[in-house]
Amino acid sequence: MKQNDFLVEISSLKPRKQAETLHKPIEDVKSLLEEIRQYNFNLFLCCSLTYGCLLRPHREIRLLKWKDFSDDLKYVSIDGGRVKSKKNRVVPVPEFIRKKLSPIGKEYNIFSNSTIELNKDYFKTLWSRFKKQSTLLKDNQTMYSFRHSGAIDIFKRTGSITKLQKAMGHSSINVSLTNLRGLEIPELNEEDMPMI
């Protein structure tokens, strides 16, 4: 390709590495979710699904319709067109979330209660407003902190990186490992260090 009398080889240009964002884990998920529930039920449901089902809030969750849930609400299925990895996802729905679900029409969005979903900035705007008045949120805690906190919980309870990969919907184990490394989970314990 020729640009300003210079030949530019597009394939030789390397993209800049994007700076990683450190999503601080949430220590007391239950209390923070309760504070969010009192603020706005839709935001509470979104954060609950982000934590309990490890779904991504701005696309996977925002576009959910009641037909995506099994009849008993125990599973949610999302087709690859709405998932970052482009693979279909079927995720269990924990009981604490199922208790809060009130299905209406199968074609209805779970947040708008109509066939039309909410705009793409809906949760981003709600979160920004909630953040300003929250007494429990800490610096660097975002909506994605719920997803990462859920990932930490799964990994601590199961010790299985494979289960974590499946739960997160990651394309490879390496992505899951990177996710854990970015969350400041120590890979070594004091017992692993040299002793005298």
pLDDT at position 150 is: 87
Residue 19, pLDDT > 70, answer no
Q: What is the mean pLDDT of residues 29-49?
A: 97
For residues 101 and 164, which has the higher predicted lDDT (pLDDT)?
A: 101
Q: Where are the beta strands (DSSP E) in the chain?
A: 2-3, 6-7, 75-78, 89-92
48 touches 97 (CB < 8 A): yes
Residue 157 lies in a domain: no
pTM surpassing 0.85? Answer: no
Residue 139 lies in a domain: no
Q: What is the mean pLDDT of residues 134-153?
A: 90
CA–CA distance, 61 with 49 (Å, rounded to integer)? 7
Question: Residue 125: which pLDDT band, with cuts at 50, 70 and 90?
Answer: very high
Residue 118 lies in a domain: yes
100 touches 53 (CB < 8 A): no
Beta bridge mates, 191: none
Question: Residue 152: which pLDDT band, with cuts at 50, 70 and 90?
Answer: confident
Residue 167 lies in a domain: no
Residue 77 lies in a domain: yes
Residue 149, pLDDT > 90, answer no
Residue 148 lies in a domain: no
Residue 31 lies in a domain: yes
pLDDT at position 195 is: 65
Residue 9 lies in a domain: no
Q: What is the mean pLDDT of residues 54-79?
A: 92
Query: Tokens 């979104």, residue?
Result: 46
What range does the domain containing 79 cover?
A: 26-131
Residue 94, pLDDT > 70, answer yes
Residue 66, pLDDT > 70, answer yes
pLDDT at position 172 is: 72
Residue 47, pLDDT > 70, answer yes
Q: What is the mean pLDDT of residues 157-184?
A: 71
pLDDT at position 182 is: 47
- How many domains is the chain built from? 1
